[in-house]
Amino acid sequence: MTKDGRPAWHANPSEWHARQTYGGRPASDEFCVTGFLPSPTRPAFGLRELLMECATAPTAPLWNNSLGTGPVGYDSAFLGTAVPVRCVLHLAGALATAGRDAQLRLETLDPGRRAVIVHERRRFSLALVCAGLDELCRHPGCDFPAPHPQIVFCDEHLADCSTATLTKMARGWGLSQNPDDSLGRREGSPEAELIARAAGAAGACDSVIAVLVDTVFPQHTSQPGNEDWALCRARERERHRLTRIGQAEAQRIRRAAGQCATCGSALSVQVPAGFPPQFCSVSCVSPPRHAQSQVRETKQTVRA
């Protein structure tokens, strides 16, 4: 509800747009009424209850002005803002595998504009003005979208992922590619490049890229002949392309660091295999990268 007692969804969204750029500052800086609270302090609610509310609350177009009529929505007690019905239905669709018992939590709210809803580690951004839904990077508080349903971190946070996580994503992404696509169409994907760069940062180019190309170009030993040869050529071309990208990223990190992150000794130009490029040797890799990023994530959650 607004101060004069009218439902918040009577507010004009063009006012929100004007405010968004007012003073050159993003809306979340000065107009986020509720602010960024750590999600554990907000009560959890069930997808079932949210859908029930959506089905029973009185609805109306969320805005109406010279630009036209906004999406139909309602005032949600769970979200503390007016929300388009379509946003809630899209969210339910995205969480179909989690089921109606899925527990949700509001991570951030910018009333009338945007809400971020969390289910376990998955994060969804609801665009309240235009009824959009985006899945976000899984790093708490990150505003960048997840590049792909199987690549669940933005490029910055992909670089913090462990080799095991990257391997899982490489396989998941590979399996999501259409095996009936021509070989040419299966090469050169910018999404594969994201994984390759992160593998370079983790010092795991060879193993992660091997999983990726073996999943995208699976060998059919039962059908020898020309087709197999073409498949093999495509797989090796893509392996070399991605390895060059991953190695270049490792080299970039090594040059930028200059010295070992643990012992401070000067780093050689040669990119090491099997451990992250900002260290001089395996013995300096301590604590492991994934433990480091977990500590950082925990800190971020507490601070937020």
257 binds Zn ion, rule: CB under 5 A: no
263 binds Zn ion, rule: CB under 5 A: yes
Q: How many CB atoms lie within 10 A of CB 114?
A: 21
Stretch that binds Zn ion, among 39-47, 53-61, 212-220, 282-290 (CB under 5 A): 282-290
Stretch that binds Zn ion, among 48-56, 112-120, 266-274, 277-285 (CB under 5 A): 277-285
Tell the residue number behind the tokens 């190309």, with chain if given.
213
175 binds Zn ion, rule: CB under 5 A: no
Amino acid at 172: G
Q: How far is the CB of 253 from Zn ion (least distance, A)?
A: 14
137 binds Zn ion, rule: CB under 5 A: yes
- How many CA atoms lie within 13 Å of 290's alpha carbon, on the beta-carbon side? 7
Do 202 and 160 form a contact (C-beta atoms < 8 A)?
no
Stretch that binds Zn ion, among 93-101, 162-170, 203-211, 283-291 (CB under 5 A): 283-291
212 binds Zn ion, rule: CB under 5 A: no
- What is the secondary structure of 36-54 as a DSSP string? ---GGGSPPEEHHHHHHHH
Stretch that binds Zn ion, among 15-23, 152-160, 205-213, 245-253 (CB under 5 A): 152-160
Do 162 and 295 form a contact (C-beta atoms < 8 A)?
no
Q: Which residues contact 65 (CB under 8 A, 6 or more apart)?
A: 12, 13, 14
Which residue's CB is nearer to Zn ion, number 54 or number 154?
A: 154
Do 183 and 229 form a contact (C-beta atoms < 8 A)?
no
Q: Find the binding residues for Zn ion in span 68-127 (CB under 5 A).
A: none
Chosen residue from 113, 157, 186, 254 binding Zn ion by CB under 5 A: 157
Say whether 145 sits in a helix, a strand or coil.
Answer: strand
Amino acid at 263: C
Stretch that binds Zn ion, among 35-43, 164-172, 245-253, 279-287 (CB under 5 A): 279-287
Which residue's CB is nearer to Zn ion, number 31 or number 144?
A: 144
280 binds Zn ion, rule: CB under 5 A: yes
148 binds Zn ion, rule: CB under 5 A: yes
CA-closest candidate to residue 231, choices 240, 246, 219 = 219
List of residues contacting Zn ion (CB under 5 A): 137, 139, 142, 144, 148, 154, 157, 260, 262-263, 280, 284
